[in-house]
Amino acid sequence: MTAPAAPKPLIGITACTQEGDDGVVSYKVGEKYVQAIAAAAGGIPLLLPPLGDATEIDPLIERLDGLFLTGSPSNVEPHHYAGPPARAGVKRDPARDATTLPLIRAALARGLPLFAVCRGHQELNVALGGSLHQHVEELPGKRDHREQKDLPVAARYGAAHPIVIEAGGVLARINGEAGGGAGEVMVNSLHSQAIDRPADRLAIEAKSDDGVIEAVSVKDAAAFALGVQWHPEHPAALEWPLSQALFGSFGEAAADRAAARAAGRLAA
C-alpha cells in the first residue's frame, strides 16, 4: 500500500493596507512573495489581512505551519520603538503594525517557524524590543541602501553590495548548505530603514560592508526564526543559491511542523 503523501505546510503571508484614490481600502501582497512560498518553500500560501486587534492570533497560529513576514513600501510606526516621529511623506500602515507585532511574539512563543524580509525583518526586531534607523542613507559612513528606481525592476533586485556572514551562525549553516558558509555574499538593497539597536533576543547573523545589520536570528527560538534585510524572494534573487537555501530551510521547518500536526505531536 502506498504511504500517504506528506502534507504541504500552510504558511501565512502578511499583507499590507492599501487605500485607493476613491478611498476604498484593499489588502495587498506582492505576487513574488506568494510564488516564493509556493515554489521555493513548497508551502500553501495563506494571505493574512492586517486586521489589527480583530486578528484572532491563537486560533490562527494553531492552523499555521509557518509565518512569512513580507516587505512593504510602508514603515513601522516609530512610537513602537520610542523613536522620533516619522517625517512627512513617510508611508505608514498602523493596521499592519497592530497585526504583525503581536503575531510575531505569539508565533515565537508557540514555536512557529518564521521567516522575515525587509519590513518584516525590522518588525521582528521591534516586536522583540529593538529599535530602527529611519534614514540609513543619512548616517555617517553608510551608503544609500534605497531602491534605485531609475533601473528596470529586475535590475533593482539584482546584487547591489556584499554582506559578511558571521561564522558559526544560523545563516552560515544555511549558506553552507548552498555551497558557501561564512564570508561575503552579494545581496540586493531596497530599503531606507534598518535595525539600529538589535533586540536582546536576536543574534546578528550578517552585516553589510558598511556595517548595516542585514540578517538576524532569534536566539531562543524553538524552530526556524530568521530575518534578512534584503529581498531573496524576487525571481531575480531566487536564482541565487543562498536565496534557494533560505526558502528551502524555512519550508523544511514548516513541513516538519505540518507532519507533527498530522501525527498529533503538536503541543497544545
* Backbone phi and psi for residue 264, each to the nearest 5 degrees, phi listed first: 75, 25
Length of the chain: 268
For residue 221 the three cell numbers come to 527560538
Question: Active-site residue among 118, 133, 191, 234?
Answer: 118
Reply yes or no on whether 233 is catalytic: yes
Question: Active-site residue among 121, 133, 191, 231?
Answer: 231
Question: Active-site residue among 77, 123, 205, 233?
Answer: 233
Reply yes or no on whether 234 is catalytic: no
Q: Rounded to an integer, what distance in angstroms lies between the CA atom of residue 154 and that of residue 160?
A: 12
Q: Cβ(148)–Cβ(156) under 8 Å?
A: yes
CA-closest candidate to residue 90, choices 191, 171, 199, 228: 191
State the pairing for strand pair 10-14/66-69.
parallel
Q: Rounded to an integer, what distance in angstroms lies between the CA atom of residue 151 and that of residue 177?
A: 32
92: DSSP letter: B
Reply yes or no on whether 118 is catalytic: yes
Catalytic residues: 118, 231, 233
